[in-house]
Copies of this chain bind each other. A is one copy, B any other.
Amino acid sequence: MGIPLSTHQQSVSYDLAPAEYRIDATSEHKKCSSCFAYELSLCAVILKNAESNVNGIAGKPLVASVRKVPARRTISHPNEWSDFVPIICEGWATTSIALPDGRRQILSFLLPGDMFSTASLFEYASGRMVEAVTDVTYRAYKRSELQAYLYEYPIVLEMLTKSWIEEKKRYDQLAIDLGRRTASERIAGIILDLMNRLSKRGMTQDQTVVFPIRQHHIADATGLTPVHVNKILSEFRRNGLIEITNRQLTILDRAGLHHVANMR
């Protein structure tokens, strides 16, 4: 019939990343506050609360286990049960869902500061697969503790609803991208979107970023075929829009790319 199969054969056995060590968040403060995404993420809120140690529960600082996963390893399986809420500290990961026959759709790329999903605060299994693109380290907060925090500190709740709304907007964009945009638009769009998110985190130098994702990732994120992604990327290069060398992406003609993306 013509079904685009998954583009990435999964040869990894079920293998939960072990908690390497447990720390309380405060003791890691220095480390966290130097994180790329510090101000964006829940982490900042959590740590600041732990610091301004005034009322009841702040006396008991939030415990997070730090975990590390090598590149290309599965971090969590669709129906894996977990009592922890993970937030990325370093590296890139993907969340995706798959059809039984292997077709796969990447829902988002996870960057430092991202929770796997906002809903992970309330659900024990996300229904999604999370995979490391590069080596990844993430912090896993105990869900029950984080929830207690949530009810205790209105600002945390507020932060959460805000990021929920953000997430919804991204979903909406994803839907219209996949449903109604051409291949070039989707690919240009995803590049620009990633650039934005990276630059918010201070992870760009001028117009270039380290760009660890493979073409098959782009394919799975855009609902296209790796071959076709390749052709369109070549076209972008030919037209002087971008340049990719050595896992580094640089945008040569931002306006041009924006125009191709047909952005909002």
Contact = CB atoms under 8 A, between A and B. Distances in A.
Contact of A223 (B100, B107, B161, B179): B179
Contacts of A161: 119, 122
Interface string A25-53: 00000000000000000000000000000
A255 to B, nearest CB: 17
Interface stretch (A8-16, A63-71, A82-90, A170-178): A170-178
Contacts of A119: 161, 164-165, 168
A118 to B, nearest CB: 8
Interface string A113-157: 000010100110001100000000000000000000000000000
Contacts of A122: 161, 164-165
28 contacts: A1-B182, A2-B182, A98-B176, A99-B176, A99-B180, A99-B181, A99-B262, A99-B264, A100-B264, A101-B262, A103-B181, A104-B180, A105-B175, A105-B179, A105-B180, A117-B168, A119-B164, A122-B161, A122-B165, A127-B172, A128-B172, A164-B164, A175-B175, A175-B178, A178-B178, A178-B223, A179-B222, A179-B223
Interface of A: 1-4, 97-101, 103-105, 107, 117, 119, 122-123, 127-128, 161, 164-165, 168-169, 171-172, 174-176, 178-182, 222-223, 262, 264
Given A103-B176, A171-B171, 11 more contacts: A2-B182, A4-B180, A97-B172, A99-B176, A99-B181, A100-B264, A105-B175, A119-B164, A122-B161, A123-B165, A179-B223
